Amino acid sequence: MTTTLAGKRIAVIGGGPGGLTCARILQLHGIPVTVYDRDADEHTRNQGGSLDLHEDDGQLALRAAGLLDEFSALARFEGQEMRELSPAGALLDQNLPADDDTSAPEIDRGQLRSMLLQSLAPGTVQWGHGLESVTGPDAGPRTLTFSDGTTVEADLVIGADGSHSRVREAVSDAQPYYSGVDFLEAWFEDMETAHPALVDLVGGGSAMAGDGDGAFFAQRNSGGHMRVYIVRRRPLDWMAQHGLTPQDTDSIRALLLEEFSGWSPEILRLITDNDGEYVDRPLFVLPAPHTWAHSATVTLLGDAAHLMPPAGVGVNLAMLDASELALALAHAESIDDAIRDYESTMLPRSAEYQIALDGNADFLLQDEPRPERPGVSADSATAAH
């Protein structure tokens, strides 16, 4: 640990992959850190679907965190298979990974989070701390006020608190806005036994089908689970406009079958055969590019910094951000210098992604590959080692 960080209080807000990766790398370098998360405990809510961690960002961050071997033991390399289907159910394209392909293996979000949590010193994560505000002078200390009325002071506040970040409000007036594209999530259990026809359709990894007006993205998870995202352009209040609530599963299904009439029975199983209720996930984005005036005591990473349409980069960028910030703190002369160093790389990189995807959430509806990812700079790749 640098002597300039001795006695400094570092607070990470948000216990997702980005915040936990940052905390892990800081602790590896002997830097004390506390993570505050709004959940009551690790098991409060389902952590979501499967993630592909790329060699040039997410896996680099895990290498810096000393967790690449643990990740490899959990990862599903066969999950890299990708199929493109037509609305008629025909297989248009199939990408089967080679036996030695390690470029982007899949891991359940919950498994990744548990691995990171287990790597931290006991007591690092303070559960049940939903942040309400960050106040105090830019030079610090900053005061964190939580939803239960308690407060703590910090010399550095790292916002890893996602799309509707409260930390962001301390440095930026930007507000997430609805992209106009909605994901409706459906869950499937016991795939091999209960849904063999969908196993044949989707394969061992992911499958997508779209016609420009609507799309399906099916994603195999571990433990025989599968998640399907039904993608449409919709008003934000589309359920209320149709007199529906999230619990109206049969009525939602009937509406979907009407919207996707003409698609093959094989594809429509992704609507008719799900286990349980649908989960509505409207896509929000930040104005592109999102930047802010430098602060000596507050910075952002992941979706808090650069919320954009899902193009397979969100968690990877969050973890790369986290790695670069933690390493900057481990080697800088001051917190202020570390933030400047980190943001000088992170902001241009995220701007490149944001501009490429700005107003382009419609690519999620197309029967064509997602936009090509901008390259990760050599400097940022080196920093994550």
Structure confidence at residue 376 as a pLDDT band (50, 70, 90):
very low
pLDDT(368) > 70: no
pLDDT tens digits, 341-356: 999 999 999 999 888 8
Structure confidence at residue 310 as a pLDDT band (50, 70, 90):
confident
For the residues of 268-317, what is the DSSP string, one character each?
Answer: HHHHHS-SS--EEEEEEE--SS------SSEEE-THHHH----SS-HHHH
CB count in 10 Å sphere of residue 206? 24
- Assigned token pair, 281: 């996930």
pLDDT tens digits, 159-199: 999 999 999 999 999 999 999 999 999 999 999 999 999 99
The mean pLDDT value for 78-103 works out to 93
Distances (CA, A) of 80 to 105, 218, 329, 361: 6, 13, 34, 23
pLDDT(384) > 50: no
For residue 195, the SS3 value is coil
Q: What is the pTM of this model?
A: 0.92
Distance between CA 150 and CA 267 in Å, rounded?
51
CATH of 3-49+111-176+286-361+374-383, one of 3.40.225.10, 3.50.50.60, 3.40.50.970, 3.30.9.90: 3.50.50.60
Structure confidence at residue 367 as a pLDDT band (50, 70, 90):
low
- Assigned token pair, 168: 């962001």
User: What pLDDT does residue 365 have?
Assistant: 74
For residue 325, the SS3 value is helix
Q: Which residue has the higher pLDDT, 369 or 212?
A: 212
The distance from CA 180 to its chain's CA centroid, rounded to whole angstroms, is 19
User: What pLDDT does residue 329 have?
Assistant: 97
Structure confidence at residue 327 as a pLDDT band (50, 70, 90):
very high
Kind and range of the H or E run holding 353:
helix 335-357
Which residue intervals of the chain bear CATH 3.30.9.30? 177-285
Give 259's Cβ-side CA count (13 Å radius). Answer: 19
Starting at the earlier edge strand, list the strands of the sheet with 125-126. 125-126, 34-36, 10-13, 156-159, 298-300
Return the axis-axis angle of helices 17-28 and 314-331, rounded to nearest 10°: 30
User: What pLDDT does residue 380 have?
Assistant: 32
Contacts of 351 (CB under 8 A, 6+ apart): 288, 289, 290, 291, 306
Q: What is the mean pLDDT of the chain?
A: 91
The answer to whether the bond into 289 is cis (omega within 30° of 0) is yes
Which residue intervals of the chain bear CATH 3.50.50.60? 3-49+111-176+286-361+374-383
- Assigned token pair, 282: 């409207």
Domain spanning 177-285: which CATH class is it, in words?
A: alpha beta
pLDDT tens digits, 229-279: 999 999 999 999 999 999 999 999 999 999 999 999 999 999 999 999 999
User: What pLDDT does residue 381 have?
Assistant: 30
Closest to 180 measured CA to CA, from 338, 373, 362: 362
The mean pLDDT value for 114-137 works out to 97
